Structure 1
Amino acid sequence: MISISSNLNIMIKAAEKASKSLIRDFGEVEKLQVKKKGPRDFVTKTDINVEKIIIDQLSKTKKNYSFLTEESGSIINKDNENIWIIDPIDGTTNFLHGIPHFAICIALESRSEIVSGLIFDPIKDEMFFAEKNKGAYLNNSRLKVSNKNSIEDCLFSSNHEGVKFSNLNMRYSGCAALDLAYVASGRLDGFFHNNINLWDVAAGKIIVEEAGGVVNDINKFKKNNINIRASSLSINDEMIKNLKNF
């Protein structure tokens, strides 16, 4: 039986509740795609609605914690040392086009350190989560990063610019959070991205680290302009060498 904190427990419950409306709306987006109607406004409403559900759920138990969210920005409450970091839909463009590859992300930052995070893929029903010094999990299974030693055998992910730049074996999935979750689970060997937002990577950072991986220090960047590098320890140096001009 996995032992989790009360904070992570309410994060999981909030993500599960919000996912119900997200799955319903995803079905509607697929219909809108078929009808050739523009679903962009609809998706914006979904983002706002999912974020509201998560904020409401988290606030019920932790009334004083502050928030940093994609849609609402910074919400400062009485306790500004504990901050929920939320991305209601990471992979919005995938969602918009009826592609089932997106995730809900929630992290908790305490005294400037990410102490817990979850990435929930509601379509595949995969809940990736981690807490500091407690390991990383996918549903009920412990996660471990890849142990490949040869970079030629590895698979990496990035955004459009990273894919264009790199001569590594690359993928571009359109969902940074799931890319990080996949690094943690060994499905991918590394992930790198420039100029990304904190809410896209906060949960993924701790999940990768607790699965035995390495993530660079993202605290030295502005919250909306982060350059992130994440991989298993065995190929981290080699990956960084390949990215020296990126």
Structure 2
Amino acid sequence: MDAFIEACFKAAIEVEAFIRSTEHHYGCEPQTEGAGGDLSINYDLLAEEIFVKHLSSFGKILSEESGSIGEGKDLIIIDPVDGSDNLMSEFPYYGTSIALKRDNRTVAGIVCNFANGDCFVRTENEHYRRSLFREDEREDVHANIHAKVGLFEKPGLHPDAARTLMDTGFKFRSPGAVALSLAYAHSALYMVFVGPMRLYDVEAGLYLCEDLYTYRSKDILIVSHNKDVFAKILTIFNLSEASE
């Protein structure tokens, strides 16, 4: 596992350096529709090449851009650039998402924010946050009991719930990168995502949130470290605690 995590960081560091050094207009040029259904840009495709170079020896890769790549017993699910629209808009909330599945079970998740270097890692034995740029900056992940705001991805798909959350006093932000928002869920009061649940978007992030209260259906995901907040948000969405 250590070798896999090390390879993920080598790839992430190379991708971040590539994004930082590449002419923005070139990196943002659209190319083709990716396997996940979104339009791939040069940043997406060239970042994918870097991840494949570093990770293909560890198993079969399932990427948002090109779909299935290579062979292997283990499955590596990647979103090479999570938050491509943010990157194109020069909004500092974009990164990468990597999940390792073994025997149909997720055993490692890594999500990095290229804009500030925050990286979140979870394996069967540890869960920590470290810097992409300074390896010595590392700390265990804990719930932030002082959190005042939640994260709501795609609130426009549930305007009534968004209004009720605000009327109830549940403030939220909508930064636009699902894997990153799941990675930051321990720091936020709650995290909500409305929309199709693609593996590239949620596999690594959900593994990072394994210790939190979680509801997941085919089109709604709710996560919180606060049991009472979690129950209230379920009520706002007219949901029961038993996920589908």
TM range (shorter): 0.7 to 0.9
Does residue 132 (structure 1) correspond to residue 134 (structure 2)? The answer is no
**Cα 1:170–1:204, aligned 2, differ >3 Å: closer, same or farther?**
same
Counterpart code for 2:17? K
Distance 1:17 1:195 in 2: 30
Does the residue aligned with 1:157 lie in a helix, a strand or coil?
A: strand
Asked whether the 8 Å contact 1:148–1:154 carries over to 2, the reply is no
The counterpart of 1:144, out of the listed 142, 145, 156, is 142
Written as runs of structure 1 = structure 2, the 5 A alignment for 1:212-227 is 212-216=211-215, 227=220
Give the structure 2 partner of residue 8 of structure 1: 5
Does the residue aligned with 1:196 lie in a helix, a strand or coil?
A: coil
Distance 2:96 2:129 in 1: 16
**Cα 1:160–1:216, aligned 2, differ >3 Å: closer, same or farther?**
closer
Give the structure 1 partner of residue 191 of structure 2: 190
**Cα 1:202–1:98, aligned 2, differ >3 Å: closer, same or farther?**
same
The counterpart of 1:171, out of the listed 149, 160, 173, is 173
Counterpart code for 1:48? L
Counterpart code for 2:232? E
Distance 1:77 1:231 in 2: 36
Give the structure 2 partner of residue 113 of structure 1: 105
Deviations along 1:143-182, one digit per CA (max 9) or x if unpaired, are 1123369xxx552322143562322222211111121111
Deviations along 1:34-60, one digit per CA (max 9) or x if unpaired, are xxx99442771111000110011112x
Give the CA deviation at 1:66.
0.8
Count of aligned residue pairs for this structure pair? 218
The counterpart of 2:231, out of the listed 237, 240, 245, is 237
Counterpart code for 1:6? A
* Percent of aligned pairs with the same amino acid: 23
Give the CA deviation at 1:111.
1.6
The counterpart of 2:152, out of the listed 118, 142, 157, is 157
Any unmatched runs of 5+ in structure 2?
A: 32-39, 132-137, 166-170, 240-244
Asked whether the 8 Å contact 2:151–2:188 carries over to 1, the reply is no
Any unmatched runs of 5+ in structure 1?
A: none
Give the CA deviation at 1:141.
1.1
Asked whether the 8 Å contact 2:149–2:173 carries over to 1, the reply is no
Distance 2:226 2:101 in 1: 24
Asked whether the 8 Å contact 1:117–1:203 carries over to 2, the reply is yes
TM-score, normalising length from structure 1?
A: 0.77
Give the CA deviation at 1:93.
0.8
Does the residue aligned with 1:177 lie in a helix, a strand or coil?
A: helix
Distance 1:240 1:143 in 2: 25
Does residue 77 (structure 1) correspond to residue 79 (structure 2)? The answer is no
Does the residue aligned with 2:9 lie in a helix, a strand or coil?
A: helix
Asked whether the 8 Å contact 1:119–1:204 carries over to 2, the reply is yes
Does residue 21 (structure 1) correspond to residue 22 (structure 2)? The answer is no
Higher relative contact order structure (alpha carbons within 8 Å, sequence separation ≥ 6):
1
Higher helix share: 1
Give the structure 2 partner of residue 96 of structure 1: 88
Written as runs of structure 1 = structure 2, the 5 A alignment for 1:193-204 is 193-204=194-205
Counterpart code for 1:200? D
Give the CA deviation at 1:78.
3.8
